[in-house]
Structure 1
Amino acid sequence: MTELATPSAKRLQRPSWRDSRLVVGVLLVLLAATLGAKAVASADDRTPVWVAAGNLVAGDRVDESSFVRADVRLADGMGSYLTADAPAPTGSFMVRDVRAGELVPASAVGGPDAVDVQRVTVRADAMSTNGLSRGSRVDVFVTPKAPTSNDGSRPATKKVLESAAVAAVLTSSGGLGSGSMTSVQIYVPAANVQPLVEAVDAEAKVTLVPSVGAVTGGGA
């Protein structure tokens, strides 16, 4: 009876550097390590900066809710923004407008001596305040209540302010139509505060007209 040949066991061999699978595996590991190092390096290039949490208007006092932090990669020559390496400059003031979501330039923040505006509350026809919001810019027109001459001519309307910033749209009163009034706080240059207050006290009609190119509606 013929005996079957007994197969001999083969010993496992160490993979050789000539093994293409080993070479490919090593290359993949090196590639992953390189990409990971580049990703970390790119993240390290980002700079923490302060971003406007809402529409900021020249004259606003900066508080803890004014800014939010964002890590961004700044291009060359863009290092003039307010970095978040230090705490937000609460207690300082905005010296120019910054829109919600924009990076805050360091030059947009200053001390109280850099601010030359004051808040004045006026009551205007609701039709002229429709669509206004914080940060809007308006021209302010005043019409005296009583005739200015003895001949009974209508009082002249004058533009007393140009491109004044809206600090807040407050409350409305009265029904629909011409009798509805809205209280609006606007930032007024110091030199114009007294004339405007005198007009308001004299019950002059105040009309707010959006300035050319002004942003209206949707402000925070």
Structure 2
Amino acid sequence: MTRPGNSTRKRFWVDPRFAVGLVLVVASVAGVSAVVVRAERTTTVYAAGSALIVGDRLHAADLVLLDVRLDSAADLYLTPDQLPAEGVLVTRTVVEGELVPASAVGAVEGELLTSLVVTLRGLLSESVTAGSVVDVWAAPQEDNARFAPPGILVPGATVVRLVENTGMLTSTQTPMVEILVPKSAVSTVLEAIANDDAVSIVAVNTDVDATIPGGE
């Protein structure tokens, strides 16, 4: 016979160690989930499909979209919402495959530049490629097919491309390059070309000349 006031319900007892373990498991799962979410969070940015030269005007069709993990560095690169319909101007060289820095586009400096094709004297260094920064030199031609000491025509010009010779005697033709120069220096370069001066380029920040001024 059950006494009045006495309960037959069993009390549920929880081991504190079990509770602590459960909390740790939940925290671990939450932490792993947060890491996975962060790892899968990417930003769509533009990359250069080919070398971008100072003065180029870029549109979306000229670039490659990539989804990359940048975390806090996402604001440093050009994204689709930063590219206006009229395009942007390249203000410094971006090599092929490089993510396009936001600081490398957008300014108007490129509108102050123009490109010229020059024929060089001597051999062209293999280190000079599209995007290389070079100094343009010229040795004025004197009497008896001699050349005066060379001087710098344009410092810090940018190589747009190497012009391929397509003539029948390609192996005997001198190298030609398209370079980007300030518009203020165009007349100086054209004068050197018209006078048949020995025009050469020297790669910046290297110890090897791209060509030998006045060389044969």
TM-score (norm 2): 0.68
Which residue of 2 is the match for residue 191 of structure 1?
Answer: 184
1: distance between equivalents of 2:198 and 2:49?
A: 34
8 A contact 1:128–1:209 mirrored in 2: no
Tell me which amino acid in the other structure corresponds to 1:171. E
**How many correspondences in the alignment?**
189
Letter of the structure 1 residue corresponding to residue 183 of structure 2: A
CA distance in 2, matches of 1:153, 1:42: 67
After superposition, give the CA deviation of every residue in 1:102-145 in whole Å (9 maximum; x if it has no partner).
33232321255653211011111361354421101111111233
Q: Give distance in 2, aligned partners of 1:139 and 1:97.
A: 16
CA contact (8 A) 2:91 2:109 kept: no
- Unmatched 5+ residue regions in structure 1? 1-16, 19-23, 215-220
The secondary structure found in structure 2 opposite 1:40 is helix
CA contact (8 A) 1:69 1:84 kept: no
- Residue 18 of structure 2 corresponds to none
Alpha-carbon distance between aligned partners in 1 of 2:116 and 2:173, rounded to the nearest angstrom: 20
Instruction: Please give the per-residue CA displacement for 1:139-195, whole angstroms capped at 9, x wherever unaligned.
Output: 111123343xxxx6943222111221100111135454xx43122100001111111
**Deviation per residue, 1:55-102 (Å, 9 max, x gap):** 222111213223433322233xx4552342516446321012223343
Describe how 1:32-51 pairs up with structure 2 within 5 A.
35-44=32-41, 46-51=42-47
Partner SS state of residue 55, structure 1: coil
Distance in 1, Cα, partners of 2:164 & 2:192: 20
Alpha-carbon separation, structure 2, partners of 1:68 and 1:184: 30
- The one-letter amino acid paired with 2:162 is V
What is the identity, as a one-letter code, of the residue corresponding to 2:198?
K
Match of 1:3 in 2: none
Using structure 1 for the length normalisation, give the TM-score. Answer: 0.67
Say which of 168, 190, 208 aligns to 2:201.
208
1:123 correspondence with 2:119: yes
The answer to whether the Cα contact below 8 Å between 1:56 and 1:66 also exists between their aligned partners in 2 is no
Runs of 5+ consecutive residues of structure 2 not aligned to the other structure: 1-13, 16-20, 208-216
- Bigger helix share: 2
Percent identity of equivalent pairs: 25
Does the Cα contact within 8 Å between 1:81 and 1:103 map onto a contact in 2? no
Q: Which runs of at least 4 in structure 1 moved beyond 6 Å after TM superposition?
A: 27-30
Cα deviation, residue 50, structure 1 = 2.3
